[in-house]
Structure 1
Amino acid sequence: MSQRETWATRTGFILAAVGSAVGLGNIWRFPFQTSANGGAAFLVVYLAAVLLIGIPVILAEFAIGRRANVDAVKAFRNLDKPNWRFVGAIGILASFWTLSYYSVVGGWVTRYIAGSVTGNALAAPESYFGAVSAGVPAVITHAIFIAVTIGIVAFGIERGIELATKFMVPSIVVLLVILAGFAATLPGAGEGYAFFLSPDFGVVAENWQSILPAAFGQALFSLSLGFSVMITYASYLGSDDSLYADGLAIAITNTFVGVLAGLVVMPLLFAQGVPPGEGGAGAVFIAIPTALAELPGGGLVGQVIGVVFFAVVFIAALSSAISLLEAVVAYAVDTFGIARAPAAVGLGIAGFLLGIPSALDTAWLDWFDGLGVTLFLPLAVLAVVVFVGWIMGGEAVDELRRGSSLGVGPAWLWSLRTFVLVVVLVVVALNFNDLFLTPETGYYIVPAPLQ
């Protein structure tokens, strides 16, 4: 049996994990979720969720992955807890499920790169989004995007994922900083900043039943938790790395990029007169081309910036997509002994087929996204919290102590067993109520018909 792959450098692991977290979850999903859930009020709850829930859970997934040194399902056999394999299985399912529609959105971005070159995306943003977001063209770009994802994962950890993300993550940050500077010059930017950065806590008090699960789900989604991605990535780590430092670096960088994306998108939305809560999944794809079309210097300036911006959005989407596919591929390689390249091709094609309904109709994409974030992720995280907090226990604390002299392991374990567990249970209960007991929000049970 060949030796299992590892990260070539610690920086490579951190950038790969950050790349998984910093993707469409931050640049696409975070701004429109914030807009739909009260702006700054949502942001405050989201930041609290990252600090109090996200960081403890990311350390829990790291502890499982590095301790077992194998994929997210087989890990529980290596930890002498084979009856808990369902924990990893839920995460693998969530990764595969999310990849299917995530790739569709990545396909939209490929069309926007081309549309920025020709100027078509900037000339009529709303009609352009309608033309590229559904139907046969969306299926084709979905196929292109997932093919690129397959190619990177097939090359392996060091020569594929690590090499790619070392370029991807810095590019994302640099371009977002530049674009945030541009957004600050737009008329209406101040109103956008106020909506995004000045919380009205009365909104939280009135709408906590919707804001809490939405912010929690976004925190999980943007940190790649519940997908078994962090379990998988940590399984390639060496024993001398500090999981505390790595987890904190990933959470901070991810949150910084999410807020930075909001500082770009919110001023653009308000500058174009898009009311808060409207625009949905297409908000970024409509508001930004509209603003770029109005840049001084003529259409050519907007086209150039549009090409660069959507190229980086493509990179962000790709960095997350490869982590979702990698979690599934690692399972196939470790459990069934399948070679990496055929596993990546076969599972990538399966993900493409599952994503065809989302490519044909955005109503299906909304259904896939809602079911994944509302059901699969919270259940996967709940299972991780229970396992690490109450079953793995001191063994997890010992794992965190490897490579670090910090003595906060017992406090972290206590937080998992009490506060984190209670919050996750509350969110799961709220989501269950929305999905199955509330007719007006329970549409996730049956997808909308294709149009």
Structure 2
Amino acid sequence: MAERETWTSRIGFIFAAVGSAVGLGNIWSFPFQTAANGGAAFLVVYLLAVFLIGFPTMMVEFVIGRRGESNPVAAFEKLGYGNWSFTGGLGVFSSLVTLSFYSVVGGWVLSYIAGSVTGGYFGDAGAYFGSVASGPVAIGAHLVFMAITIGIVASGVTDGIERATKVMIPAILVLLVGLAAWATTLEGATAGYEYYLSPDFGVIASNFGSIVPPAMGQAFFTLSLGFSVMIAYSSYLGRDDSLPADGGAIVVVNTLVALLAGFVVFPILFATGGAEGAGGGAGTAFIALAGAFGNLPAGGVIGFVFFAVLLFAALSSSISLLEVPVSYVTENYGVGRRTTALAMGAAIAVIGLPATFGTTWLDFYNDVVFNLLLPISVFLLAIFVGWVADREAIDELGRGSSIGSSFTTAWLWWVRIVVPTVVLMTLWLGLETLYEGLTTGGYF
């Protein structure tokens, strides 16, 4: 069997993990989830979810991954708890399902890059979305996006994933900062900032049940938690690296990118009068932005840059979602990486085909992942580390770090009590949302 790959450097791991976290969830989904759920009120709940639940949960996945030094399923077996390997398997399944519809949206981004060059969406943004979101164009773009993802993952951890993310993450940050600086010059930007940054706490109190599930799901999604991605990535990590320091850097950069996306999107929408349609879901998000770019001077250039950022973000996440099932198959069954990446990528592309026939399928896939799969996965991971794993596994958190035992103990009790309680509440509220969508015909 070939020697298992590792990251060539600590910064390589951080870039790869940030790349997994920084994706469509940050730049496309986050601003429009914010618009759909009370503006700054949603932002407050989201930030609390990221730092109070997301960061501790990331440490849970890091501990399992580095201690297990294997793929997300085999890691539990190497830790001596093979009967818990189904938890890693759930993450593998979640990655597979998510990438199947995620790549369809990635295909839309490719179409919008082309539309920025040709001016295809300038005349009628709604009609353009209809022409690329379903049918032959959507299928073709979906397959192209998956082919790019397969090519990167097939090249390996070092030559594929690490090399690609070292280019994409700095590019995302530089381009987003440039766009955010440019957006400050727009007339009407102030109203966008006010909507984005001035929370109405009464909105949180009166809409608690409808804000918490998407905020929590958004936090899990943007940090790549519950997909077993961080278990897989941390399994390639050296023993001397500090898990809390690396995790903190990943969370901070990920959150910075999401906030920057809001500083780009809301000034543009308010400056062009497109804010009212911004919260209507996957389709209206693209339509609102494309319509805004069509009404701006040099809109084609701005649109091209924005959708290029979106493409880098989409790819940096998609390669992590494909790496999870690929690492499982290559290590458990001895199949070559290139063959596995091609076979798994092709299977995922087929699973995603229904989402190329209309956005209702995509909305359904998205809600199943956000409201069901991710909360269950995170809950199980917290229970495993909090109540099942031995102390030797828990102490992995402090290896390579200067943190004391008191920090590890406080983290452990937080994972034992707070994380499962909050996640169970989120799961309950999310199930209500799913049930309502299924019983009222909201999906199909």
| Shared fold (TM-score, shorter chain, > 0.5) | yes
Tell me if the contact between 1:224 and 1:230 (Cα under 8 Å) persists in the aligned partners: yes
Residues 274-332 of structure 1: CA deviation (Å, up to 9, x unaligned):
31663421344223333333333xxxx33233223212211110000000000110011
Give matches, 1:18-167, under 5 Å: 18-167=18-167
Q: In the aligned structure 1, how far is the partner of 2:177 from the partner of 2:281? A: 24
Q: 1:260 to 1:393 in 2, by over 3 A?
A: farther
- 2:327 is aligned with 1:330: yes
* Letter of the structure 2 residue corresponding to residue 206 of structure 1: S
Q: 1:112 to 1:100 in 2, by over 3 A?
A: same
Per the alignment, residue 419 of structure 2 pairs with 420
Tell me if the contact between 1:390 and 1:417 (Cα under 8 Å) persists in the aligned partners: yes
Per the alignment, residue 214 of structure 2 pairs with 214
1:390 aligned residue (387, 392, 399): 387
Unaligned runs of 5+ in 2: none
Once the two structures are aligned, what percentage of the paired residues are identical? 55
Q: 1:447 to 1:159 in 2, by over 3 A?
A: farther
- 2:437 is aligned with 1:441: yes
1:120, distance to aligned residue in structure 2 (A): 1.1
Q: 1:319 to 1:172 in 2, by over 3 A?
A: same
Per the alignment, residue 319 of structure 1 pairs with 316
Per the alignment, residue 357 of structure 2 pairs with 360
- 2:190 is aligned with 1:190: yes
1:397, distance to aligned residue in structure 2 (A): 2.8
Q: In the aligned structure 1, how far is the partner of 2:76 from the partner of 2:442? A: 34
Q: In the aligned structure 2, how far is the partner of 1:122 from the partner of 1:147? A: 29
SS in 2 for 1:122: coil
Residues 173-207 of structure 1: CA deviation (Å, up to 9, x unaligned):
11111111222222222121111100000001001
1:431, distance to aligned residue in structure 2 (A): 1.8
Q: In the aligned structure 2, how far is the partner of 1:447 from the partner of 1:5? A: 45
Per the alignment, residue 294 of structure 1 pairs with 295
Q: In the aligned structure 2, how far is the partner of 1:447 from the partner of 1:393? A: 45
Tell me if the contact between 1:393 and 1:413 (Cα under 8 Å) persists in the aligned partners: no
For these two proteins, the number of residue pairs brought into alignment is 441
Q: In the aligned structure 2, how far is the partner of 1:86 from the partner of 1:293? A: 48
* Letter of the structure 2 residue corresponding to residue 159 of structure 1: D
Per the alignment, residue 238 of structure 1 pairs with 238
TM, length-normalised to structure 1: 0.95
Q: In the aligned structure 2, how far is the partner of 1:400 from the partner of 1:5? A: 22
* Letter of the structure 2 residue corresponding to residue 426 of structure 1: M
- Could you say what the CA RMSD is over the residues aligned between the two structures, in angstroms? 1.5
Per the alignment, residue 429 of structure 2 pairs with 430
Q: In the aligned structure 2, how far is the partner of 1:233 from the partner of 1:121? A: 38
Q: 1:277 to 1:205 in 2, by over 3 A?
A: farther
Per the alignment, residue 310 of structure 1 pairs with 307
Q: In the aligned structure 2, how far is the partner of 1:17 from the partner of 1:443? A: 38
Tell me if the contact between 1:60 and 1:384 (Cα under 8 Å) persists in the aligned partners: yes
Residues 338-359 of structure 1: CA deviation (Å, up to 9, x unaligned):
1100100000000000100001
SS in 2 for 1:121: coil
Q: In the aligned structure 2, how far is the partner of 1:185 from the partner of 1:283? A: 25
Tell me if the contact between 1:389 and 1:416 (Cα under 8 Å) persists in the aligned partners: yes
Greater Cα shift, 141-150 or 386-395: 386-395
1:396, distance to aligned residue in structure 2 (A): 3.5
* Letter of the structure 1 residue corresponding to residue 400 of structure 2: G
Residues 210-268 of structure 1: CA deviation (Å, up to 9, x unaligned):
11111100000000000000000000001000000100000000001001101111122
Greater Cα shift, 272-281 or 234-243: 272-281
* Letter of the structure 1 residue corresponding to residue 422 of structure 2: V
Tell me if the contact between 1:101 and 1:355 (Cα under 8 Å) persists in the aligned partners: yes
Q: 1:425 to 1:320 in 2, by over 3 A?
A: same
Q: In the aligned structure 2, how far is the partner of 1:74 from the partner of 1:143? A: 30
* Letter of the structure 1 residue corresponding to residue 431 of structure 2: F
* Letter of the structure 2 residue corresponding to residue 363 of structure 1: T
SS in 1 for 2:207: helix
Tell me if the contact between 2:33 and 2:279 (Cα under 8 Å) persists in the aligned partners: no
Q: In the aligned structure 1, how far is the partner of 2:426 from the partner of 2:411? A: 20
Tell me if the contact between 1:397 and 1:410 (Cα under 8 Å) persists in the aligned partners: no
Greater Cα shift, 171-180 or 281-290: 281-290
Tell me if the contact between 1:292 and 1:303 (Cα under 8 Å) persists in the aligned partners: yes
